[in-house]
């Protein structure tokens, strides 16, 4: 996985450390990153994390006429140099599990990248086409058309404040028939400095023409295991 960014800072090189494949540079972002890009990729989500420790996330996938799939993702975090972290991960299990490298000198939480990588690989399997095509449209949506708003949520009975980022990356793609009914696919990211690891929930969903979700994936922080 190489969600390659052309950034000048470590934060903008948000995927270079996750070299699972080599792709061409994506020149889709403006010189100044958007609020959505900053919130999702450039915020030091791990600031203040007391390492060594483990972040646990619950994965749930639902689809029409299928039994729900439940799984987990675990990020083991150790201190690294310059107030950064070294992260090893087990993201999902069995045939769904991603093979992931150890990430060094991390400050942002790479679980977002794992979530998106698993998502685009699944789209590639379902729709065909290059994974870079899907990555590019997700990145463009974060740079140009994201909805960013404050949000409140409850975790283990405690109220938290955070930021919700929503995008519809494929709604206006050329040759929309290639999306095979997934053109309205939506993504939601909820980030908050008040939860361990800075990421509360990640979500993708495909609605039908009436707005009902026919396929949904959520990845939610399990703070009891963090």
Q: Considering the entire predicted model, what is its pTM?
A: 0.83
Dist CA 206 CA 36 (whole Å): 21
Q: Which burial class, exposed, middle or buried, applies to 180 when counting CB atoms under 10 A from its CB (0-12, 13-18, 19+)?
A: exposed
Query: Cβ(171)–Cβ(25) under 8 Å?
Result: no
Q: Is the pLDDT of residue 7 over 80?
A: no
Phi then psi dihedrals of residue 164, to 5 deg: -110, 130
Q: Is the pLDDT of residue 61 over 70?
A: yes
Q: Is the pLDDT of residue 3 over 60?
A: no
State in Å, rounded, how far the first CA of the chain is from the last one.
Answer: 26
Dist CA 53 CA 144 (whole Å): 35
**Residue 122: its pLDDT value, please?**
87
**Residue 17: its pLDDT value, please?**
36
What radius of gyration, in Å, describes the C-alpha atoms of the chain?
17
Q: Which residue has 């400050």 as its token pair?
A: 107
Residue 28 in 3-state DSSP?
A: coil
Q: Is the pLDDT of residue 29 over 80?
A: no
> Cα dist. 128→69, 134, 179, 180 in Å?
23, 10, 9, 10
pLDDT tens by residue, 113-142: 999 999 988 888 877 777 888 898 899 999
Query: Cβ(155)–Cβ(57) under 8 Å?
Result: no
Query: Cβ(104)–Cβ(86) under 8 Å?
Result: yes
**Residue 128: its pLDDT value, please?**
75
pLDDT tens by residue, 66-105: 889 999 999 999 999 888 899 999 999 998 898 888 999 9
**Residue 13: its pLDDT value, please?**
38
Q: Which burial class, exposed, middle or buried, applies to 57 when counting CB atoms under 10 A from its CB (0-12, 13-18, 19+)?
A: buried
Where is pLDDT greater, at 49 or 28?
Answer: 49
Query: Cβ(39)–Cβ(143) under 8 Å?
Result: no
| Average pLDDT along the chain | 82
Q: Which of 57-66, 123-132, 212-221 has the lowest mean pLDDT?
A: 123-132
Where is pLDDT greater, at 190 or 208?
Answer: 190
Dist CA 36 CA 42 (whole Å): 9
> Cα dist. 222→59, 79, 225 in Å?
10, 21, 6
Residue 196 in 3-state DSSP?
A: coil
Q: Is the pLDDT of residue 25 over 70?
A: no
* DSSP category for residue 210: T
């Amino acid at each position: 996985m190489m969600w390659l960014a052309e950034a000048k800072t470590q934060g903008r090189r948000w995927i270079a450390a996750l070299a699972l494949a080599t792709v061409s540079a994506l020149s889709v972002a403006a010189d100044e990153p958007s609020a959505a890009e900053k919130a999702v990729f450039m915020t030091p989500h791990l600031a203040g994390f007391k390492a060594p420790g483990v972040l646990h996330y619950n994965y749930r996938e639902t689809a029409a006429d299928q039994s729900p799939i439940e799984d987990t993702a675990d990020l083991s975090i150790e201190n690294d140099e310059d107030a950064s972290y070294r992260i090893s991960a087990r993201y999902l299990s069995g045939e769904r599990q991603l093979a992931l490298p150890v990430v060094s000198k991390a400050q942002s939480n790479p679980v977002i990248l794992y979530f998106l990588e698993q998502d685009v690989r699944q789209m590639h399997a379902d729709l065909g086409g290059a994974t870079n095509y899907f990555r590019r449209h997700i990145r463009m949506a974060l740079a140009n058309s994201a909805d960013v708003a404050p949000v409140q949520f409850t975790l283990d009975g405690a109220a938290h404040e955070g930021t919700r980022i929503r995008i519809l990356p494929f709604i206006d793609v050329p040759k929309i028939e290639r999306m095979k009914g997934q053109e309205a696919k939506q993504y939601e990211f909820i980030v908050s400095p008040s939860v361990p690891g800075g990421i509360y929930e990640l979500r993708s969903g495909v609605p039908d023409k009436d707005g009902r979700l026919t396929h949904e994936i959520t990845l939610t922080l399990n703070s009891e295991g963090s």
